Amino acid sequence: MNNFLLDKEYIAGTYNRFPVEIVRGKGSVCFDSNGKKYIDLGTGIAVNTFGFCDDLWVEAVTKQLNLFQHTSNLYYSEPCIKLAGMLAERTGCKKVFFSNSGAEANECAIKAARKYATDVKGIKEPVILTLVNSFHGRTITTLAATGQEIFHKDFLPLTDGFTYTVANDIEALYESVEKYCPSAIMFEIVQGEGGVVPLNKEFVEALVKVTKEKDILLVVDEVQTGNGRTGELYGYMNYGFTPDIVSTAKGLAGGLPIGATMLFEKVKDVFTPSSHGSTFGGNPVSSAGAVNIISRIDEVLLDGVKLRNKIIVDTLKDAEGIKSISGMGLMLGIETEKPASDIVKECINRGVLVLTAKTKVRLLPALNIPLDELKEALEIIKEVCAL
């Protein structure tokens, strides 16, 4: 049996895969099992920050792999200490908890917010306000945080203590805060799975204002927007405020599993021994990858992200068959005249890997994608959208 059939036979049916089996890649180019070449504008959903098998990243990861691969959190180990220090220095957070995925980073954010409300404010059953159309993960609790009914159905009952308000609607935000007295508000700077919808400046200002007035924790889910994706190290930095908790994952280790929950001043001491933990959390190989990635996301790299954003927007914005472009940096959603799923299929046929988000075509290229490869892929997308 070939791998497509074996996959269908043995792997749980949660994924609707394209008929492509990737066997190797370098930078922003990869090859399938038939030897066909693709330019990758998806990076495994914002994970391969510097593309496939980036030389410096491979070197950093391999070096650690040859020292030790895991120790457990009963002992000290340098890679995660180094990474936490770098994150603290770059964001101003005071402490970091490491896990292995976005959902886990958000679980930790939720536990931190709840424990702070309970410890400091004596609130027995704190409420967390999130946004309609958000996406925070697939565990039962992060599904509860996700403000989209389509993800909830078939998995009830979910965890209690979440309520939702509409993104970019300031009046609804004030009403929800009055009505539910939330202990924390959790949101994405750009709703990724929700269709690449950025929060507007006025709404973020209102969020910051109301959380300050009412002493509510600001929790930013930067699982997708983090690690240079939006043109700043973290998406919230585009808006110039200081959050209380930031979760990140996807691109942090450049292709290895990791999650990080950054705890700022207010909540820095909320966790005490045994109050939270993770067997794999802070894995030395993933952490070594992340140290390499974060150390390379500097001003020059971020200017490159902004330049690539401009090239994409300028090339596509008035193109035939394209209605609008949303997003920030290298996290972009394209509203097309034809169904996004048809565009994605035809792009794959023509050797370009792109994604969808709701009804849009979504682009999440490597932060350092070579300009000639980017331009070549954009010409193909343009052709396909104009068909």
- Contact residues toward ligand PLP (CB under 6 A) are 101-103, 106, 135-137, 188, 192-193, 221, 223-224, 249-250
8 A C-beta contact, residue 254 and residue 54: yes
Beta strands in 236-387 (DSSP E): 245-248, 259-263, 322-328, 331-336, 352-353, 355-357, 360-363
Q: Which residue is nearest to ligand PLP (CB)?
A: 102
Letter for the amino acid at 332?
L
Shortest distance in whole angstroms from residue 250 CB to ligand PLP: 6
Shortest distance in whole angstroms from residue 249 CB to ligand PLP: 5
CA angle 8, 340, 317 (to 5 degrees): 145
Shortest distance in whole angstroms from residue 72 CB to ligand PLP: 22
Considering beta carbons, is residue 259 or 284 the nearer one to ligand PLP? 259
8 A C-beta contact, residue 387 and residue 321: yes
Considering beta carbons, is residue 33 or 359 the nearer one to ligand PLP? 359
Considering beta carbons, is residue 27 or 254 the nearer one to ligand PLP? 254
Considering beta carbons, is residue 116 or 135 the nearer one to ligand PLP? 135
Shortest distance in whole angstroms from residue 247 CB to ligand PLP: 7
**Whole-angstrom Cα distance, residue 219 to residue 165?**
15
Q: What tokens does 66 get?
A: 């040859």
**Whole-angstrom Cα distance, residue 24 to residue 37?**
10
Considering beta carbons, is residue 192 or 228 the nearer one to ligand PLP? 192
Shortest distance in whole angstroms from residue 11 CB to ligand PLP: 17
User: Concatenated DSSP letters for 181-237?
Assistant: --SEEEE-SEETTTTSEEPPHHHHHHHHHHHHHTT-EEEEE-TTTTTTTTSSSSGGG
